[in-house]
Amino acid sequence: MKSPLKDIRFKNLSRGFLKTAISPATRVSSYGIFSGHTELSLARQGTDIDCYTDKPVIYQFWECICESPYRLHSILTDKSFKFTDEREFAVLQETLPGYSDSYIRSSLFFLLNRYSKNGQVSCGEFCKDNFNPAALNQLKIFRKPKNFNVHRYDADLCEHVSGNTNADFVLFPNVLFKYNLFNIGKPVGYDTYQHNPAELKKILGLSNRPVAIVFNKHPGVFNFFKDFNQILINSKGRLTEEKSNCEEIIVTNF
């Protein structure tokens, strides 16, 4: 089952490796769900996967689509549900969290995701051609895998991971590395994850379970996580030993 969302910030090239590294019998806790491409791919091979987010808008979208994709599709195709131009797109980006009806808000979340050039909802650039009948059909045909579940959490990330006793394996499938020591605590978009590298290093070091963090290639990853295993994935989704040739870096404690 493909995800109806798009997010071109991440290529999800590590899915093949993760399928070999994670046994189908393993229960995985995945943190930072957005498009769900990697998570759904693991679910298709039989892995039980619990996806966690601290973003209410993202959680609500997945809750609604797992419950009734038909309802989302019917709202978006209703004649009274109209979208006009780039100016309205910008207004909706700002006002989306204020919509109280969960299905209306989740329908708008999907619409903004598809119209966005890179898939970001809160700050993506308008691109008219991305919202089309094929995108709507992907929404309509979505079916929730039985072994795929999405949860919302409000706790500190490190505390939640350490207290999550249901997981055999902890996964962060899509992470952008940033030296964000001066940005911690600053407001971010309602659909944007801001991962603190120091927190991730702490999770890797203290966890008694396997942890894998998939980064987009960034030179800072190699040095900052030098005490952990680093698996490099190239543009074809294959293992490589060449740092200059990799697209994703999987940092693990195993």
> E strand or H helix at 240, and its extent?
strand 239-240
pLDDT tens-digit map of 26-45: 999 999 999 999 999 999 99
Separation of alpha carbons 88 and 204, rounded Å: 43
Quote the mean pLDDT of the chain: 94
Among the listed residues 111, 113, 136, the one whose alpha carbon sits nearest the alpha carbon of residue 123: 113
> What's the sign of the alpha-carbon dihedral 95, 97, 99, 103?
positive
Q: Strand order of the sheet with strand 148-152?
A: 148-152, 48-53, 27-31, 169-175, 211-216, 246-252, 229-234, 239-240
pLDDT tens-digit map of 194-206: 999 999 999 999 9
pLDDT greater than 60 at residue 136: yes
DSSP 3-state of 148: strand
**Which of 112-126, 129-143, 170-184 has the least mean pLDDT?**
170-184
Separation of alpha carbons 178 and 224, rounded Å: 11
Separation of alpha carbons 48 and 2, rounded Å: 17
User: Mean pLDDT over residues 11-19, rounded?
Assistant: 97
User: 117 with 124: CB under 8 angstroms?
Assistant: yes
- 186: confidence class by pLDDT, cuts 50, 70, 90: low
- The pLDDT of residue 1: 73
- The pLDDT of residue 23: 92
Separation of alpha carbons 183 and 98, rounded Å: 25
- 181: confidence class by pLDDT, cuts 50, 70, 90: low
- The pLDDT of residue 183: 57
Residue with tokens 């740092």: 243
User: Mean pLDDT over residues 128-140, rounded?
Assistant: 90
- 129: confidence class by pLDDT, cuts 50, 70, 90: confident
pLDDT greater than 80 at residue 245: yes
- The pTM score is 0.94
